[in-house]
Amino acid sequence: MRLSEVFRIAWEAIGKNKVRALLTMLGIIIGVAAVIVMISISAGTEATISDQITALGSNLIYISSSFSRMGPGMASSGGLIYDDATAIEEQISGVKGVVVEQDASETVKAGSVSLDAISVTGTSPDFLSVRSLTVSEGRFYTTDDVTNKKKVAVLGYDLATELFGTTDPIGQTILVSTTRVTVIGVLAEKGTVGEIDYDARLYAPISLVLQKFAQTPFSRIVGDQIRMIFVQVDDKANMDNVILQTQILLAKRHNVSLDSLDFTVTTQQDIIATQESTTAAFRSLLAWVAGVSLIVGGIGIMNIMLVSVTERTREIGIRQSIGATPADIRWQFLTEALLMSLVGGLIGAAVGIGGSWLFGTVSSMRTLIVPSSILLAFGSAAAVGAFFGFYPANRAAQLDPIDALRHE
């Protein structure tokens, strides 16, 4: 029988039971759509991460406190202190710049609006370029502001809107905890990156934050604690050298040995590797989920094809009596199963593409449709159809023509 006829017969058979066919295809549709959506989510996440990493600039070293050192019975040092950053900048060669960061959480008031537990980030002016943030109104504070502990603040986009609404915030005075601070700038919208909502924060000179908001009992004894130091290295080739020098310097300053450091040093490479392994795990989990739903869809097709073979036993008998060979019958039913999964795959691909787009638009997650994922999903759907269609088709082919004709 000609291929066009085989397809025509299969297509007509599906058309006779549209609702049933659609319900059967649903499993495949969901499976294929799931594969495409999930791959687009993980691809979007990866793209976001790589964008962030690129935006952070190159050759960065992150030094953060190991908080275990804060526990009882530990040395008197309080982890990283502000002076550590200065020491790194002054004593280590190959360092291009150093940025420090310390957070606090304070109540912020502007006129009648009062907001609790607002994150206050104290940092140096380089922070802006290191985190690739831009100022939309006014200005960011300068090195001068930091040196002089100026009572100035830059607001995140959302925070500015919440505090001032449509009023221009520049030049306004706000109350952070008990300190009066002048707003000098508002940042452009950035959104949430790596769990930090840049738009809901208040940024102030590190010196001001350390003095007014982030005082700890240790501050007087050992100096101002800071959460993190970013070191920008001048050349990629110097990375290892700078890391080693930093570790030696800080170990000496903190009075600890090199094998029990009270701080951790990570590089962008480490972060990339961690995030890549996270997304890889995420992606393979999603692939399994999608794969399982494809298999479930395949079983649905097998089930309905078995029903179909039973229902159409007489038709099979008629075809056999006028000369259909077992191979003809097998092909007919296999094509039907295949066609159902292919149509399901097609609908699933459309749903998947639409779903990815919708998900990317509605949620905060970024999605990126990967063309090869459509091909993969489609191919799996076809394979599922062929695999699960074979048994019912073979059963139809094995029917005895006399029994089949006698079937009511």
Partner 1 sequence: MTAAHTIIETIDLTKIYGMNGVSVTALENLSIHIEAGEFVAIMGPSGSGKSTLLNILGCLARPTSGKYILDGEDVSDLDKVQLALIRNLKLGYVFQSYNLLSNTTALRNVMLPLLYDRTHRVPPEKWQAMGEKVLEAVDLGDRMHHQPQEFSGGQQQRVAIARALINDPVVIIADEPTGNLDSRSGEEIMGLLDTFHKQGKTIVIVTHDPIVAAHTERTIHLRDGRIDTIVHNGNSHPVIRKETNYAAI
Q: How far is the CB of 309 from partner 1 (least distance, A)?
A: 15
- Please tell me whether residue 196 binds partner 1 under the rule CB under 8 A: no
Q: Which of 167, 321, 354, 363 is in the footprint of partner 1 by CB under 8 A?
A: 321
Contact 229/243 with Cβ under 8 angstroms?
no
Query: Taking contact as CB under 8 A, which single stretch among the options 30-38, 225-233, 235-243, 323-331 is the one that binds partner 1?
Result: 323-331
Q: How far is the CB of 338 from partner 1 (least distance, A)?
A: 19
Report d(CA 245, CA 367) in Å as an integer. 41
Report d(CA 52, CA 165) in Å as an integer. 30
Report d(CA 8, CA 332) in Å as an integer. 10
- Residue 256 tokens read as 């600890």
Site string for partner 1, 362-401 (x = CB under 8 A): ---------------------------------------x
- How far is C-alpha 216 from the chain's CA centre? 35
Q: How far is the CB of 323 from partner 1 (least distance, A)?
A: 2
- Please tell me whether residue 314 binds partner 1 under the rule CB under 8 A: yes
- Please tell me whether residue 1 binds partner 1 under the rule CB under 8 A: yes
Residues touching partner 1, count (CB under 8 A): 22
Q: How far is the CB of 372 from partner 1 (least distance, A)?
A: 39
The nearer residue to partner 1, 171 or 323, going by C-beta atoms, is: 323
- Please tell me whether residue 318 binds partner 1 under the rule CB under 8 A: yes
- Please tell me whether residue 326 binds partner 1 under the rule CB under 8 A: yes
Q: Between residue 235 and residue 254, which ones bind partner 1 under the rule CB under 8 A?
A: none
- Please tell me whether residue 307 binds partner 1 under the rule CB under 8 A: no
Q: How far is the CB of 16 from partner 1 (least distance, A)?
A: 6
- Please tell me whether residue 200 binds partner 1 under the rule CB under 8 A: no
At position 348, the amino acid (one-letter code) is G
Q: Which of 320, 341, 373, 380 is in the footprint of partner 1 by CB under 8 A?
A: 320
**Number of other residues whose CB lies within 10 A of the CB of residue 289:** 14
Q: Which residues, including other chains, have CB under 8 Å from residue 242's CB and lie 6 or more apart?
A: 61, 92, 94, 95, 231, 233
DSSP-derived secondary structure for 28-54: HHHHHHHHHHHHHHHHHHHHHHHHHHH
Report d(CA 370, CA 253) in Å as an integer. 50
DSSP-derived secondary structure for 297-318: HHHHHHHHHHHHHHHTHHHHHH
- Please tell me whether residue 12 binds partner 1 under the rule CB under 8 A: yes
- Please tell me whether residue 20 binds partner 1 under the rule CB under 8 A: no
What does the H/E/C string look like for 58-104? Answer: CCEEEEEECHHHHCCCCCCCCCCEHHHHHHHHHHCCCEEEEEEEEEE
Q: Between residue 327 and residue 346, which ones bind partner 1 under the rule CB under 8 A?
A: 327-328
- Residue 52 tokens read as 């962030």
- Please tell me whether residue 222 binds partner 1 under the rule CB under 8 A: no
The nearer residue to partner 1, 236 or 314, going by C-beta atoms, is: 314
Residues in contact with partner 1 by CB under 8 A are 1-2, 5, 12, 16, 314-315, 317-328, 401-402, 405
